[in-house]
């Protein structure tokens, strides 16, 4: 098999994105790293690889994108199925970010002006959502001294304010209509439908049914899985953090058409 030099460079950037099967380093890094480094890693550092891939896509049309579409779909499927069996909530969030990064890369490989603009909005949505969930993991760890899904339960009874923001964050991750993630996913899947209908149906089932259900079922288990002793709920700084990020995801879609 002959590999174009630019395809080799794209694969190097793909390891950093990360794409399947080179994504396991990111889950292990998130598991061991402090929370705010995880926010920096997911919110900024891995995005730098997207700029390198975008440069290759923009200035080189000799790359065979078919193999990358296949790899991305395998990455979405793998990360979605891995979320079913996680016991560490931070690793659960890490696989969710990998799934979204693969969708972002798929949108970027559409290689047209509109897809690049929507990729930018998808990056903003992913940055906000990953930051929210990693911050939630940090809040739960400080109060329960564990990240185990089986050890944390009854969060709704012990910390109702944290529970409220967990529910809203899960709804935003699911792509509530007229939120930022909903808009970019509608554009992504509409573009894929025009290429291959069967392929788009498969991807929608994996990314919007399997992934969302496997991700949210763990969070609802934490919320409603039993009762525990009361813990310290959110303080003012933590409430402000959630309000800023979640209002961003609700309000920005109204300006998408204006920006475009």
pLDDT tens-digit readout, 60-71:
555 566 777 888
Q: Contact 135/73 with Cβ under 8 angstroms?
A: no
Q: 175, 179, 161, 178: which is closest to 242 by C-alpha?
A: 161
Q: 179, 180, 129, 137: which is closest to 162 by C-alpha?
A: 137
Q: Is the dihedral of CA 100, 103, 109, 114 positive or negative?
A: negative
167 has pLDDT over 50? yes
Burial string for 188-199 (b: 16+ CB within 10 Å, else e) reads: bbebbeeeeeee
Q: Is the dihedral of CA 50, 123, 238, 172 positive or negative?
A: negative
C-alpha 141/C-alpha 89 separation (Å) is: 10
Q: Is the dihedral of CA 186, 173, 119, 81 positive or negative?
A: negative
Burial of 38 by CB count in 10 Å (0-12 exposed, 13-18 middle, 19+ buried)?
buried
2 has pLDDT over 50? no
pLDDT tens-digit readout, 4-37:
545 556 666 667 777 777 777 777 878 888 888 8
Q: Contact 65/129 with Cβ under 8 angstroms?
A: no
Token representation of residue 45: 């550092």
- DSSP class of residue 148 equals B
Mean pLDDT of 122-151: 87
pLDDT tens-digit readout, 32-65:
888 888 888 887 777 777 777 776 666 655 556 6
- DSSP class of residue 85 equals G
Specify the pLDDT at position 154. Answer: 81
Specify the pLDDT at position 259. Answer: 62
């Amino acid at each position: 098999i002959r590999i174009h030099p630019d395809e080799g460079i794209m694969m190097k950037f793909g390891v950093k994105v990360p794409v399947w099967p080179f994504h396991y380093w990111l889950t292990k890094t998130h598991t061991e790293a402090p929370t705010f480094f995880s926010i920096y890693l997911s919110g900024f550092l891995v995005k730098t690889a997207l700029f390198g891939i975008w440069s290759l896509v923009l200035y080189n049309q000799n790359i065979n994108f078919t193999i990358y579409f296949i790899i991305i779909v395998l990455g979405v499927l793998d990360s979605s199925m891995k979320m079913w069996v996680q016991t560490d909530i931070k690793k659960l969030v890490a696989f969710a970010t990998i799934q979204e990064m693969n969708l972002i890369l798929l949108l970027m490989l559409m290689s047209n002006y509109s897809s690049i603009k929507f990729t930018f909005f998808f990056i903003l949505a992913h940055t906000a959502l990953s930051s929210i969930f990693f911050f939630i993991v940090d809040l739960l760890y400080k109060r329960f001294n564990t990240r185990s899904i089986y050890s944390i339960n009854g969060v709704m009874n012990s910390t109702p304010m944290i529970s409220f923001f967990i529910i809203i964050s899960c709804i935003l991750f699911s792509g509530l209509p007229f939120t930022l993630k909903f808009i970019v996913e509608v554009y992504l899947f509409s573009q894929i439908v025009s290429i291959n209908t069967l392929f788009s149906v498969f991807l929608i089932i994996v990314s919007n049914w399997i992934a969302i259900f496997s991700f949210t079922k763990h969070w609802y288990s934490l919320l409603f899985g039993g009762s525990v002793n009361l813990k310290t709920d959110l303080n003012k700084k933590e409430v402000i953090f959630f309000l800023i990020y979640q209002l961003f995801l609700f309000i920005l879609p109204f300006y998408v058409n204006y920006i475009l």
